[in-house]
Amino acid sequence: MERLKEIINRGVLPGDDICIIEEFMPGIGSFSKNGVVRAAWIGVTAADLNTRTVHVKPVHKFPQLPERNSVVIGVVVLVKDEYAVIKIFEDLKGNRYLNGFTGVLHISQASDTHVKDLYEVIRVGDVVKAKVLNNNPPYNITIREPKLGVVLAFCGNCGSVLRKAGSNMLKCPKCGRMEKRKLSLDYGRV
């Protein structure tokens, strides 16, 4: 029983030993290697005495899919004339989407003002804060609100982090290049 107290309710990091395989078999969030059961992710250990397995309960919830109105952080992977594709791995509350999901930003959801070219709003590699508009895939997202939009962008010329130089303007501190975006009010702060 003393040994059980050492095994359970312990905060662990990926790779930390939990016990040996003769004590418990690896369950969700753990794995065994060379007879030692180790944590696969950050969490708190728990044991199931019936099945003699140990688990690591994740610290954050792991929702598999986003919900409408979730505010999420993603990276732009494709920009076309009418739409852009954003790969999303987490929301602002710290929930992670295990395999990530794809959000589609239509040009009509890109800005409050008329946009004639999506390349003046976002570019591949930008980090954006966006809101999910629906509950089922394909997920549509918006960046129209003032707090939504690009939160981090890199210079197309030299790759440096761009600095805010106006309401929707960025400037490279290294080479001086100016680039336009639809910026979040939180640009540089996420």
Q: Residues in the site for Zn ion, rule: CB under 5 A?
A: 155, 157-158, 160, 172, 174-175, 177
The minimum distance between CB 190 and Zn ion, in angstroms, equals: 21
Q: State both tokens at 72.
A: 């999420």
Q: In whole angstroms, how close is the CB of 120 to Zn ion at the nearest point?
A: 18
Cβ distance to Zn ion smaller for residue 11 or 173: 173
Q: How far are the Cα atoms of 19, 74, 155, 187 from residue 143, in angstroms, in the given order?
A: 47, 12, 21, 13
Shortest Cβ 180–Zn ion spacing (Å): 15
> By C-beta, is 4 or 161 nearer to Zn ion?
161
Q: Which long-range contacts (CB under 8 A, 24 or more apart) does 44-53 make?
A: 44/9, 44/10, 44/11, 44/12, 45/7, 45/8, 45/9, 45/10, 45/12, 45/18, 46/8, 46/9, 47/4, 47/7, 47/8, 51/25, 51/27, 52/24, 52/25, 53/24, 53/25, 53/26, 53/27
36 or 175: whose CB is closer to Zn ion?
A: 175
- Residue 81's beta-bridge partner residues? none
Residue 166 makes CB contacts below 8 A (sequence gap 6+) with none
Task: Please say which residue, 56 or 162, places its beta carbon nearer to Zn ion.
Answer: 162
User: Is 55 or 181 the residue whose CB approaches Zn ion more closely?
Assistant: 181
The least distance separating Zn ion from the CB of residue 162, rounded to whole angstroms, comes to 8
Least Å from the CB of residue 73 to Zn ion = 24
